[in-house]
Amino acid sequence: MKEILLVGFGGFIGSVARYLVSKLNITWQFLSIPMGTLTVNILGSLIIGFLVGISVKSELISNDLRLFLMVGFCGGFTTFSSFTNENFMLMQNGQFLTVFLYTTLSIVLGFLAVYFGYVLSNLL
């Protein structure tokens, strides 16, 4: 029961943070790419890479904290379903170049963010 509460509370905080960051869609546009979702997915990738890096090299992050941060917060903060829905809507509008760019940026920057988060954790 404790694990479920840790994941749930982390997910709640992550979801609220995602909602607040997604407001970037209203104020920041680049080729119709949903910048809020792109931002949370890349930032979430950076955070989880950093946490994995710390977890691998030390005991700093307990299992409970790992559940709260990695499964709960990062799971609630990042959003694949919004990403795919936004791409579907862009496709329906005929914005195929934007779909390609958004998908490519999300995947490439996501992998790079996980890597850099991992590298950053090794600097500690």
Res. 107 pLDDT band, cuts 50 70 90: very high
Question: Per-residue pLDDT tens for 28-85?
Answer: 677 788 888 888 889 999 998 899 889 888 888 898 999 999 899 999 999 887 788 8
Closest CA to 42 of 104, 124, 119, 122: 104
- Give the predicted TM-score (pTM) of the model: 0.80
- Sign of the torsion angle spanned by Cα atoms 23, 118, 55, 103: positive
Question: Per-residue pLDDT tens for 2-23?
Answer: 999 999 999 999 999 999 988 7
User: What is the per-residue pLDDT for 26?
Assistant: 66
CA-based angle 83:88:90, to the nearest 5? 95
Letter for the amino acid at 45? Answer: S
